[in-house]
């Protein structure tokens, strides 16, 4: 077979994430920036019932996901209904739930302050700030988190704000700063999450992989990242160190592409696992902050279906 026919889609001319393809990148870049939501309000879609969207509501959410890999819905539905994220997800082709060990039996996590024991050892289940990351960065490739939903049941008394940045924009800004940064972070050994062990031994094996990768079948960009400085080993070379510093500058800056939201009851984030953080928060005495989180191996279908 000729070599050209053996190329995967990610390598074919036309993929903007291929560093050798400047022309495709320039065209994609211009279109991406022209369509990217300029403000948080451009991301928000008011819906009557996330469990059963109207055609127009679904199209409006899909439009935002197509432009920014994320959308925020705002609904009057405030009941603590764990079926909600699952039913919403189904309307966008999200069916393969990641059952991580901290999720409840149904695969949907109730993210709330858990106290000192068990889940409380893990930062999402505390009221502390969480630095920039994509979800499941420690997962092996066969459990890659491509999409997720965060649904707010109760908000915090203060704090609990999420910053959001489309990972494609992070790629774009990093490539604009220096294409070598992107090349460094596409190395298959760029980032290692060490094994997690407990008294019984290894609970999760070490996971080594790139930060940015392009799916060979779909040509879609995936990002695996955490800004935490403990329990992470970056490849020990200057190119990776410089690239990580470049990415940190982008995330710490005042990019107009970073949008911030404090989810209120009935609101939620539907996204293709974009970069996000969480500010510290305090709970009121009556209703602790409660977020349902569902993670999927599928990517959001944005067709108008
Ligand atoms: Fe997260």
Q: Any idea which of 3-7, 41-45, 124-128, 243-247 has the lowest mean pLDDT?
A: 3-7
State the distance from the centre of ligand 1 to the C-alpha of 278, rounded, in angstroms: 8
State the distance from the centre of ligand 1 to the C-alpha of 226, rounded, in angstroms: 10
State the distance from the centre of ligand 1 to the C-alpha of 150, rounded, in angstroms: 9
pLDDT of res. 140: 93
pLDDT of res. 118: 64
Tens digits of residue pLDDT in 160-183: 999 999 999 999 999 999 999 999
pLDDT of res. 5: 47
State the distance from the centre of ligand 1 to the C-alpha of 2, rounded, in angstroms: 43
State the distance from the centre of ligand 1 to the C-alpha of 13, rounded, in angstroms: 33
DSSP lists the bridge partners of residue 162 as: 261
Tens digits of residue pLDDT in 230-254: 889 999 999 999 999 999 999 998 8
Closest CA to 10 of 212, 173, 244, 299: 212
Is residue 280 within 8 Å of 161, Cβ to Cβ?
no
Tens digits of residue pLDDT in 187-213: 999 999 999 888 888 888 899 999 999
State the distance from the centre of ligand 1 to the C-alpha of 49, rounded, in angstroms: 24
Instruction: Flag whether pLDDT at 216 surpasses 50.
Output: yes
State the distance from the centre of ligand 1 to the C-alpha of 14, rounded, in angstroms: 31
pLDDT of res. 10: 57
Alpha carbon 68 to its chain centroid, in Å, reads 11
In DSSP notation, 38-74 reads SSHHHHEEE-S-TTS--HHHHHHHHHHHHHHSEEEEE
Alpha carbon 199 to its chain centroid, in Å, reads 31
Rounded CA gap, 247 and 81, in Å?
37
Q: Is 69 exposed, middle or buried (0-12, 13-18, 19+ CB in 10 A)?
A: buried
pLDDT band, residue 120 (cuts 50/70/90):
low
Instruction: Flag whether pLDDT at 7 surpasses 80.
Output: no
CB-based burial, 75-99: b 16+ in 10 Å, e otherwise: bebeeeebebbbebbebbbbeebbe
DSSP lists the bridge partners of residue 147 as: 296
């Amino acid at each position: 077979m000729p070599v050209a026919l053996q190329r995967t889609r990610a390598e074919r001319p036309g993929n903007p994430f291929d560093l050798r393809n400047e022309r495709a990148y320039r065209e994609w870049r211009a279109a991406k920036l022209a369509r990217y939501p300029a403000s948080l309000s451009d991301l928000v879609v008011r819906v009557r019932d996330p469990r059963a969207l109207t055609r127009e509501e679904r199209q409006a959410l899909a439009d935002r996901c197509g432009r920014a890999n994320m959308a925020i819905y705002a609904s009057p539905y405030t009941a603590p209904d764990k079926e909600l994220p699952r039913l919403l997800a189904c309307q966008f082709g999200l069916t393969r739930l990641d059952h991580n060990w901290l999720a409840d039996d149904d695969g949907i996590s109730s993210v709330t302050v858990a106290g000192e024991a068990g889940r409380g050892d893990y930062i999402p289940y505390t009221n502390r700030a969480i630095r920039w990351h994509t979800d499941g960065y420690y997962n092996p490739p066969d459990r890659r988190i491509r999409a997720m939903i965060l649904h707010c049941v109760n908000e915090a008394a203060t704090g609990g704000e999420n910053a959001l940045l489309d990972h494609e924009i992070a790629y774009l800004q990093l490539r604009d700063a220096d294409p070598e940064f992107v090349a460094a972070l596409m190395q298959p050994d760029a980032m290692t999450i060490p094994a997690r062990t407990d008294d019984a031994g290894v609970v999760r094996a070490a996971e080594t992989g790139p930060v940015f990768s392009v799916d060979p079948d779909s040509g879609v960009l995936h990002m695996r990242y955490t800004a935490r400085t403990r329990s992470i080993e970056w490849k020990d070379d200057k190119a990776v160190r410089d690239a990580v510093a470049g990415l940190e500058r982008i995330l710490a800056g005042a990019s107009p592409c970073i949008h911030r939201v404090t989810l209120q009851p009935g609101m939620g984030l539907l996204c293709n696992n974009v970069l996000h953080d969480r500010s510290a928060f305090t709970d009121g005495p009556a209703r602790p902050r409660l977020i349902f989180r569902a993670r999927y191996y599928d990517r959001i279908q944005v067709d108008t279906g």
